[in-house]
């Protein structure tokens, strides 16, 4: 019985391995030799003009990969026939700067090597370059992803954590995609750059519970500062605060150090320090930036290979926000 089960599982094993084995850092070496130069120039120009681009692109990449794999499905715009991932409520706050960067990169590449480089590969490489540009680790990116043939709003729910998602749910979410608790904590370190809208954490400031309006997990001075920043958030929905108030534009381990200080902006951030399953890794990364960088690099490399489409399971889109043929 065990012997027959082994052979039953072989097709699944080889389909996963074969799909990933098609990816290579040299995939475009002859078909688009100037790929990395083009992306580098586009990334530098955009980041210099709009410094929030790095955090925005990293978040876009994460939201893409966690829903069905790294296949650029989050870039698709909805049309009369299809409501796409991009319109899910949790994706509505994805920054326009990230989408604009991918459009710019794709346009430049279509001039030099038309129909060759997928949007999924552009997003993966741009993310790596931006992480490194703002101080984070450099890691190898493999290429050969195809762009998805499907993007549905219904596939998003349950694959992306919300600001008040419980630790049990978060761990289950990552484990379902074969990520360990430590890898989850390392990837969450992406919150060392970027910002969150006040509406996402205002309940922790003004209506935490009946007896305590402000979440006692916040450092009192930090809570007071957040109340000042967010005082008009109901009138101005775009009001926001940096995820890392100390070094908001630098990719470092300050995010973890802030958690120890009572400066975890989101409840899910604070939960990493409180939960005994995740706390050891928070303390490790708070004390050792090299350990964080090494683990983050390995985890995001692993994420970049999750659910990739190759061969006839995908396509190379002409435009990143639309399928090559209308999906009905």
The residues near 312 (Cβ < 8 Å, ≥ 6 apart) are none
List beta partners, residue 242. Answer: 195
**Does the annotation count 219 as an active-site position?**
no
DSSP line for 164-227: T--HHHHHHHHHTTT--HHHHHHHHGGGGS-EEEGGGTHHHHH-S-SS-SS-TTS-HHHHHHHH
Distance CA 238, CA 241 (A): 10
Give the burial class of 220: count Cβ atoms within 10 A of its Cβ; 0-12 exposed, 13-18 middle, 19 or more buried. Answer: exposed
Residue at token pair 């090494």: 294
Give the burial class of 221: count Cβ atoms within 10 A of its Cβ; 0-12 exposed, 13-18 middle, 19 or more buried. Answer: exposed
**Contact (CB, 8 A) for 77 and 86:** yes
**Contact (CB, 8 A) for 86 and 75:** yes
**Contact (CB, 8 A) for 327 and 39:** no
Distance CA 43, CA 246 (A): 25
**Contact (CB, 8 A) for 202 and 227:** no
Q: Of the listed 63, 191, 197, 219, which one is catalytic?
A: 63
Question: What one-character DSSP code corresponds to residue 130?
Answer: H
Angle between helices 96-112 and 35-49 (to 10 degrees): 150
Residue positions annotated with a catalytic role: 63
């Amino acid at each position: 019985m065990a012997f027959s089960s082994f052979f039953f599982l072989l097709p699944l094993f080889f389909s996963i391995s074969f799909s990933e084995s098609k990816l290579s850092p040299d995939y475009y070496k002859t078909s688009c030799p100037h790929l990395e130069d083009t992306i580098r120039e586009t990334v530098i120009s955009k980041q210099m003009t709009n410094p929030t681009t790095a955090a925005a692109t990293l978040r876009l990449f994460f939201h893409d990969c966690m829903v069905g794999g790294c296949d650029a499905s989050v870039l698709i715009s909805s049309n009369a026939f299809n409501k796409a991932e991009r319109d899910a409520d949790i994706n509505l706050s994805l920054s326009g700067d990230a989408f604009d960067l991918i459009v710019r990169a794709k346009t430049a590449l279509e001039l030099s090597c038309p129909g060759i480089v997928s949007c999924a590969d552009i997003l993966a490489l741009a993310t790596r370059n931006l992480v490194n540009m703002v101080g984070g680790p450099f890691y190898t990116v493999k290429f050969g992803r195809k762009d998805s043939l499907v993007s549905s709003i219904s596939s998003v729910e349950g694959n992306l954590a919300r600001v008040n998602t419980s630790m049990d749910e978060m761990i289950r979410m990552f484990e379902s995609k074969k990520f360990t608790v430590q890898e989850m904590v390392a990837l969450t370190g992406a919150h060392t750059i970027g910002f969150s809208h006040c509406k996402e954490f205002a309940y922790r400031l003004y209506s935490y519970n009946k007896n305590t309006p402000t979440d006692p997990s916040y450092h009192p001075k930090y809570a007071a500062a957040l109340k000042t920043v967010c005082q008009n958030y109901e009138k101005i929905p775009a009001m926001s605060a940096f995820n890392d108030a100390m070094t908001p534009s630098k990719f470092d381990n300050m995010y973890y150090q802030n958690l120890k200080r009572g400066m975890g902006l989101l409840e899910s951030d604070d939960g990493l320090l409180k939960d005994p399953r995740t706390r050891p890794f928070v303390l490790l990364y708070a004390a050792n930036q090299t350990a964080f960088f090494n683990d983050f690099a390995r985890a995001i490399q692993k994420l970049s290979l999750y659910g990739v489409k190759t061969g006839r399971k995908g396509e190379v889109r002409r435009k990143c926000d639309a399928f090559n043929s209308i999906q009905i």
